[in-house]
Structure 1
Amino acid sequence: MSDFTIGESEFLLDGEPFRILSGALHYFRVHPQSWADRIEKARLMGLNTIETYVPWNAHSPVRGTFGTEGMLDLAAFLRQVAEAGMYAIVRPGPYICAEWDNGGLPAWLFAEPGVGVRRYEKQFLAAVEEYLEQVLRIVRPLQVDQGGPVLLVQVENEYGAFGDDPAYLRFLVDVTRQAGITVPLVTVDQPEDAMLAAGGVDGVLRTASFGSRSAERLRTLRAHQPSGPLMCMEFWDGWFDHWGGPHHTTSVADAAAELDALLAAGASVNVYMFHGGTNFGLTSGANDKGVYRPTITSYDYDAPLDEAGNPTAKYDAFREVISRYAEVPPATPRPATPAPAFRVTLGEPVRLLASPGLWGSWSDHREAPSLDELDARLALFRTEIDVDGATMLNVGEVRDRAQVFLNGDPVGVLDREQHDQAIMLPRGRGRLEIVVEDQGRVNYGPRIGEPKGLVGPIRLGSESLADWSVCAIDLDAVPRLWESAAVGAAGVGPTAWRTTFLAEEPADHFLQTDAWGKGFAWVNGFCLGRYWRRGPQRTLFVPGPVIRAGSNELVVLELNALSEPTAQFVPGPSLGPLEL
């Protein structure tokens, strides 16, 4: 057991000055069998600490539950950090941003009318207290003063960029302490006067988040934190990408120079990200600052370790900078072996519009329900229309994408990013079907917690459309469709395809997706995430532990159309152009 405290100008570990050299590594974005590899590579770069967020919505998709299996085993992750001889920082939110769906806040939280968002409101506080008690029960015995690795626990996350509610922040501090957290607490905000003032709590160490102008920003932090250690809790060494945008990178030389300036000033640091990993499944978030922009599946972040956990030029540069201020292990990670390259044919198509009952459960509604009411991320809405001639279909707001079909024929797409609300139907009679997709919940700003689906009135001409039959599609069950579905011919509308491929041994793979349209992919039932031809991302990462020696199954759910029904595996990642 060790004693970790905040001194007059430094962190103190057992009474001696201690500089935190940390790297962000999110256990929920990395396959559990790869945790030890990533942690060891952090140690070899010269880091002494691993930082992670905790995603409330992943652990608690349903209120009253708190899952800790597989990629959500926080305790196992922290124990592996300790086994590597490293320390840990835990940032449980409840809001984490992190380009993660809804900023980590569970969708069920907003089902009750009037519930607050990140403020002192009784319904919100009650749910937050339940959550923090669950996650801190895991953290409590793993604190450094109880023989574990955890040095710091963070309260909220960049709260000064969102609100100004000191009672809410004090509530979080009190709940955290009552849950048995005895190590120092911290807040983090961007180094602007208003944000540091609104996001701080008396008696809690303020830290900052930035990626440039280190000396200037540390001075701003010091003005709000007159004593105690200076720390950049998020040293931004890269950035994230949106669908339809460029792939973001940062200069290796500039990032290394900023890290050097930060360490030269005597500050502690958490490199965000050390290893970004992947938004597996449907976990990526979105931004909306007037235009909705969903985040891609890869969270490579141009970090020192790439998406597959391989060192980059930034790794070597950061390691050299750190060696000027701390002892760095002499060993270095082994070079990566290229992934296998091969091509296989996709077959056995199963069309959603041909047999929707196999894809999920049907329900009838007078008014179109939200996706939240259906507990679905993808759904098929169906009704009958009967008016003369061509007519206009109008939707109050589409969140986030709606494919429109009339009598089985495609009519077009309503896209939230384009602010689409209306589409002309060529005929006014027949079966109207709309496939509605949630592309990721907003994770930053005032639109956190908003419902998904077809929002507001749905009209045909001037008349409201009613009497909907809705199939909530069970995406987790898509890889099992062939147990009961009859294989048909390829056709219009969302279609699932599958194939098998052989592997000599478990190893990382990269699945090239630029010949496909838009959809999701699974390997051996593990959802790799979303793909979209618009890019920038052109490959999906397949973690080695998902691959079996021998036969493996690939399933693809294509929402639009495949230009060719083949799957191509390539030697390495392709994350797209740096400029558009």
Structure 2
Amino acid sequence: MTTFTIQDDFILDGQPVKLISGALHYFRIVPEYWQDRLEKLKNMGCNCVETYIPWNYHEPKKGQFDFTGRKDVARFVRLAQALGLWVILRPTPYICAEWEFGGLPAWLLADDSMRVRSTYQPYLDAVDAYYAELFQVIRPLFFTHGGPVLMCQIENEYGSFGNDKNYLKAVKRLMEKHGCDIPMFTSDGGWREVLDAGTLLHEGVLPTANFGSRTDEQIGALRQFMHDNQIQGPLMCMEFWIGWFNNWGSPLKTRDAHEAAGELEAMLKQGSVNIYMFHGGTNPEFYNGCSYHNGMDPQITSYDYAAPLTEWGTEADKYAAFREVIAKFHAFTPVPLSTPIQFQGIGELTCTNRVSLFNTLSSLTQPIATDIPQPMEKLGQGYGYILYRAHVGKARELAKAKLADCDDRAQIFVNQKLIATQYKETMGSNIPLTLDHPSDNVIDILVENLGRINYGASLVSPHQRKGIKGGFMLDLHFHTGWQQYCLELNNVEQVDFTQDYQSGVPAFYEFVVEIDEPADMFLNLCGWGKGCAFINGENLGRFWDIGPTHYLYIPAPLFNKGKNTVILFETEGRSGSVSLDDHPFIDQPDTND
């Protein structure tokens, strides 16, 4: 039976061990490639793998839990164990991770009084119910039960959000209640203020730090903090940032491999490390998160992170540089790669069907009628789009109409003609309307959830609801009487392509392709505006012409041998070419960060 304790060092089976870990998120990789990515992690020299566990991914609807398929975290951990890797799990209610709402489930926001990451009892009750299910899955994976999991995290960078020690203690108690009998840790930035706020003293919880530069300074701050508070334990950088995430409309961020390798060596000389990210992968479906930098700043579908492995799993320049550094600290034996992976290009695809959203709306969803428009969460919807429809009567000119309190992106149509597109920052500006139908004019408002904020003050619940939260004003009064169509787009097989297509409005486009042997490919989308794409019903994520990426990575397991169906949902009334290629289309040149 394995033993693991935290003393002045990490002590594994009676011997000190330096944990050299890499972050690898099972939820950003197809299960068929978990083995490949873990083998490449081991071959770079790592002896451990770390992953978050996103609550909203496993409980997307309240009380509906899923730990199967791509969500089978237990299988991922067992694969790591079979390769001789140790595992660090971060089953915290909040994860950040540039993931939608930082991993918190959207349905929490149906509660008007919800206060996340706090001692608000309904929030803690929800965490309790989640942990009751989650720990049944992960507890058998702990080293105390013969598994490879050495440590679990309590919360995540809480010192960058709050300083409520009672909340941190409550999360710790819930983890213990549901069977966490292994060492626990916190992780915060590498400076005194956040370490003071985010750690638990005298509770047997190891503090760790997150940073990616100025290693001596930031690990020194952690060392001093531990000394001042008489905390016994090794130094560890739990997130050693070797790249960065990317946002729509900004150049790709990169980092020099040799500079990053130098910082890694400095860290390994002083303690243990978790490389964030070893392999970033892809933000699937609508799970990309959002930053807030003087406005909404949603993250892109790719989570490449300028990591040692690219989004599609090939070695980048940091891989060899890091392997050379790690080899200075311990010997390791590479394992053969067991998963054949090939890249293939087919070329341009021909559109076989197309239909406007307005004409297939009834095949996708049924309206919910309310007097006052409701946000997504009040209607039981978490992600995607929502369309609000109202009949506003006879023909007339209105000098002003406006949306009041709406998130995140709204397109306003009058009689199915686009009048305006507004974002969170421009909501409330006046929109002149010409209602030109003699008797019955229809306003449609298509609102997109671009991704809930995953970090900072705007994480607080009231800011996070999506859709119309105030109302739509005609002149100086709120209009009442709305039909709301929830469009999570988890049923694109129901799009009715027998209906009519009209240009200039949101629409679905279908492409059919025959494939003899599935291989990894890139769906390149030159000329398209904004939307999302599906392969055989699987949501690949978002695309947007503002870049920096203009592709969606499709791993081979998502293709069928034979017939495959690609569906695009595009909201801007634009279309271009679609091709399946063996390389991605990315804005160049890159810029260093």
**Same-fold status (TM-score > 0.5):** yes
Question: Bigger CA drift: 566-575 or 552-561?
Answer: 566-575
Q: TM-score, normalised by structure 1?
A: 0.96
Cα distance change, pair 43–94 in 1 and its aligned pair in 2 (3 A): same
Partner-residue secondary structure (3-state), 1:540: strand
CA distance in 1: counterparts of 2:527 and 2:56, whole angstroms: 33
Partner-residue secondary structure (3-state), 1:305: coil
CA distance in 2: counterparts of 1:347 and 1:335, whole angstroms: 32
Which residue of the partner structure matches residue 518 of structure 1?
530
- Residue 419 of structure 1, CA deviation: 5.3
Letter of the 1:374 counterpart = L
Which residue of the partner structure matches residue 263 of structure 2?
258
Which residue of the partner structure matches residue 166 of structure 1?
165
Maintained 8 Å contact 2:283/2:541: yes
Q: Deviations over 1:415-459 (max 9, x none)?
A: 225556432223476211111111111111222232111222321
User: Does residue 381 in structure 1 map to residue 388 in structure 2?
Assistant: yes
Maintained 8 Å contact 1:304/1:311: yes
Pairwise mapping of residues 142-221 of structure 1 onto structure 2 (< 5 A)?
142-202=141-201, 203-221=204-222
Which residue of the partner structure matches residue 40 of structure 1?
39
- Residue 379 of structure 1, CA deviation: 1.7
Maintained 8 Å contact 1:521/1:529: yes
- Residue 143 of structure 1, CA deviation: 0.9
- Residue 504 of structure 1, CA deviation: 2.3
CA distance in 2: counterparts of 1:49 and 1:330, whole angstroms: 14
Pairwise mapping of residues 235-250 of structure 1 onto structure 2 (< 5 A)?
235-250=240-255
Question: Bigger CA drift: 148-157 or 567-576?
Answer: 567-576
CA distance in 2: counterparts of 1:5 and 1:320, whole angstroms: 29
- Residue 562 of structure 1, CA deviation: 2.9
Q: Which runs of 5+ in 2 are unaligned?
A: none
User: Does residue 576 in structure 1 map to residue 590 in structure 2?
Assistant: no
Letter of the 2:371 counterpart = R
User: Does residue 481 in structure 1 map to residue 495 in structure 2?
Assistant: yes
Question: Bigger CA drift: 172-181 or 216-225?
Answer: 172-181
CA distance in 2: counterparts of 1:44 and 1:275, whole angstroms: 13
Cα distance change, pair 287–420 in 1 and its aligned pair in 2 (3 A): farther
User: Does residue 550 in structure 1 map to residue 562 in structure 2?
Assistant: yes
User: Does residue 508 in structure 1 map to residue 507 in structure 2?
Assistant: no
Task: Give the % identical residues.
Answer: 38
Cα distance change, pair 532–417 in 1 and its aligned pair in 2 (3 A): farther
CA distance in 2: counterparts of 1:345 and 1:311, whole angstroms: 33
User: Does residue 455 in structure 1 map to residue 460 in structure 2?
Assistant: no
- Residue 48 of structure 1, CA deviation: 0.7
User: Does residue 350 in structure 1 map to residue 362 in structure 2?
Assistant: no
Maintained 8 Å contact 1:348/1:487: no
CA distance in 2: counterparts of 1:537 and 1:397, whole angstroms: 30
Cα distance change, pair 474–179 in 1 and its aligned pair in 2 (3 A): closer
User: Does residue 409 in structure 1 map to residue 402 in structure 2?
Assistant: no
**Paired residues, number:** 575
Which residue of the partner structure matches residue 6 of structure 2?
6
Q: Among residues 383, 399, 404, which one is paired with 2:407 in the alignment? A: 399
Partner-residue secondary structure (3-state), 1:221: helix
CA distance in 2: counterparts of 1:460 and 1:80, whole angstroms: 59
Q: Deviations over 1:446-495 (max 9, x none)?
A: 2223211122232111121111122222401123324xx52423423111
Letter of the 1:215 counterpart = D
Q: Among residues 459, 479, 482, which one is paired with 1:468 in the alignment? A: 482
- Residue 283 of structure 1, CA deviation: 0.5
Maintained 8 Å contact 2:343/2:519: no
Pairwise mapping of residues 284-433 of structure 1 onto structure 2 (< 5 A)?
284-330=288-334, 337-376=342-381, 377-386=384-393, 388-418=396-426, 421-427=429-435, 430-433=441-444
CA distance in 2: counterparts of 1:346 and 1:391, whole angstroms: 41
Maintained 8 Å contact 1:511/1:539: yes
Q: TM-score, normalised by structure 2?
A: 0.93
CA distance in 2: counterparts of 1:245 and 1:535, whole angstroms: 7
Q: Deviations over 1:370-409 (max 9, x none)?
A: 1212233312211122473243221122311111111121
Partner-residue secondary structure (3-state), 2:276: strand
- Residue 533 of structure 1, CA deviation: 0.6
Maintained 8 Å contact 1:360/1:472: yes
CA distance in 2: counterparts of 1:551 and 1:518, whole angstroms: 26
- Residue 579 of structure 1, CA deviation: 4.7
Which residue of the partner structure matches residue 550 of structure 2?
538
Letter of the 1:496 counterpart = F
Letter of the 2:214 counterpart = R
- Residue 113 of structure 1, CA deviation: 2.8
Partner-residue secondary structure (3-state), 2:260: helix
Letter of the 1:458 counterpart = F
Maintained 8 Å contact 2:80/2:86: yes
Partner-residue secondary structure (3-state), 1:188: strand
Q: Deviations over 1:145-170 (max 9, x none)?
A: 22111011000000000001001101
Maintained 8 Å contact 1:392/1:423: yes
CA distance in 1: counterparts of 2:245 and 2:505, whole angstroms: 31
Partner-residue secondary structure (3-state), 1:456: strand
Letter of the 1:457 counterpart = G
User: Does residue 139 in structure 1 map to residue 153 in structure 2?
Assistant: no
Cα distance change, pair 452–313 in 1 and its aligned pair in 2 (3 A): same
Letter of the 1:6 counterpart = I
Q: Which runs of 5+ in 1 are unaligned?
A: none
CA distance in 2: counterparts of 1:447 and 1:189, whole angstroms: 19
CA distance in 1: counterparts of 2:60 and 2:407, whole angstroms: 20
Cα distance change, pair 491–375 in 1 and its aligned pair in 2 (3 A): farther
Cα distance change, pair 487–428 in 1 and its aligned pair in 2 (3 A): closer
Maintained 8 Å contact 1:503/1:549: yes
